[in-house]
């Protein structure tokens, strides 16, 4: 049973999406109208704002569901559960999905640091690039979630996605980190075929005209590389949240809320990402766990692995990997 079928609740999807875009416009048009280097203090405040908004949304979701199901006859409730139980389960699914997506976003931050350093993007322009990057990510994630909701109606797809997540989780844990020459990447070479690329910055412009030719600036190249990177990460993160809940609206909203906080988290952690060297093992374990949920654990528990256990395992694993990273500091000679 889907609690928020799109045909009946399209207005809720549309309203949430419009709210996201309004917040983004306010963010860029008022608070970040002038390009500037985002300080640690500013990033901390905005990180708190995005997390608070996500938690307030989750509270509103709980209250709405409690009210909605409290007025239904007992025989119409899901599996005879109380209204408060249904509301708690759905809100916990949102919270778990949000934590999973937020945690997996740390991998994006590692990539952001590499890309910005490689193309020598000044810090005052990084927020602008991430703004448009997040905007594109919201669109692509919405498409992926819609496709995932349709595909996961087939049991075989659940198994395939679950096996893929297990494989990805193991790969993250045991694949060493390697330096990459981005000029040799498929994305960069493809861009060079479409646009001539200038090696010089021209302020905040993505394109510049020189000698009658339209040239792409390093800002545009960086934006495309970051956008492509998010598409690759979405292949992992979207199925991971579907492993937690089959409710498309919860997958959509938890994903969007986590992405909205990605920029501020980047500016908060960009100078210390190397300290969390054991986090990849935590993320790998989480992906392996959610993959096992899709392929085995849900069936073992009558179709639904307890969401409270899922939340405890995921938060505990991520938290422990962060603590161990800070306790056992990375050796300067360790390049793995």
Measure the CA angle with vertex 242, ends 238 and 244; round to 5°.
120
In this predicted structure, what is the pLDDT of residue 250?
93
Say what the pLDDT of residue 336 is.
Answer: 43
Give the pLDDT means over successive 10-residue stretches in the chain (336 positions). 82 90 79 77 89 94 85 57 76 92 81 84 87 85 86 81 87 71 76 83 86 86 87 81 88 91 84 77 89 84 82 91 86 51
For the segment 65-102, what is each residue's pLDDT rounded down to a tens digit?
Answer: 888 777 665 555 555 566 567 888 899 999 999 998 88
Contact (Cβ atoms closer than 8 angstroms) between residue 273 and residue 113:
yes
Answer whether residue 315 is part of any domain: yes
Residue 57 is predicted with a pLDDT of 94
Residue 335: its pLDDT value, please?
44
Any domain includes 136: yes
Q: Residue 155 falls within a domain, yes or no?
A: yes
pLDDT digits (tens, 9 = 90+) for 101-134: 888 877 778 788 888 888 888 888 888 888 888 8
Residue 225 domain flag: yes
The answer to whether 263 touches 18, Cβ cutoff 8 Å, is no
1 in a structural domain: no
Query: Is 282 contained in some domain?
Result: yes
Residue range(s) defining the domain that contains residue 235: 6-327
Q: How many domains does the chain have?
A: 1
154 within some domain: yes
């Amino acid at each position: 049973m889907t609690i928020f079928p799109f045909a009946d609740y399209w207005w809720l999807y549309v309203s949430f999406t419009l709210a996201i875009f309004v917040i983004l416009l306010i963010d860029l048009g008022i608070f970040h109208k002038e390009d500037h280097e985002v300080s640690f203090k500013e990033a901390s405040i905005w990180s708190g704002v995005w997390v608070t908004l996500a938690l307030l949304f989750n509270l509103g979701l709980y209250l709405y569901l409690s009210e909605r199901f409290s007025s239904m006859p007992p025989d119409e409730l899901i599996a005879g559960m109380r209204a408060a139980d249904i509301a708690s389960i759905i809100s916990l699914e949102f919270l778990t999905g949000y934590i999973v997506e937020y945690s997996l976003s740390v991998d994006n931050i590692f990539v952001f640091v590499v890309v910005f350093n490689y193309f020598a993007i000044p810090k005052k322009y990084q927020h602008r690039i991430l703004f448009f990057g997040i905007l594109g990510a919201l669109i692509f994630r919405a498409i992926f979630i819609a496709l995932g909701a349709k595909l996961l109606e087939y049991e075989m797809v659940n198994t395939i996605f679950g096996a893929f997540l297990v494989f990805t989780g193991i790969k993250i844990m045991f694949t060493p980190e390697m330096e990459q020459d981005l000029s040799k990447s498929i994305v960069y070479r493809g861009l060079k075929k479409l646009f001539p690329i200038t090696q010089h910055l021209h302020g905040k412009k993505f394109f510049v005209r020189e000698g009658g030719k339209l040239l792409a600036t390093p800002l545009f190249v960086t934006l495309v590389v970051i956008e492509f990177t998010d598409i690759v990460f979405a292949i992992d993160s979207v199925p991971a949240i579907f492993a937690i809940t089959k409710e498309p609206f919860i997958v959509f909203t938890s994903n969007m809320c986590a992405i909205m906080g990605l920029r501020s988290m980047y500016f908060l952690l960009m100078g210390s990402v190397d300290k969390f060297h054991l986090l990849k093992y935590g993320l790998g374990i989480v992906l392996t766990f959610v993959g096992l949920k899709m392929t085995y654990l849900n069936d073992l528990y009558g179709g639904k692995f307890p969401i409270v256990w899922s939340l405890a395992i995921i938060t505990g694993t991520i938290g422990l990997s962060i603590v161990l990273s800070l306790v056992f500091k990375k050796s300067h000679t360790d390049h793995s």
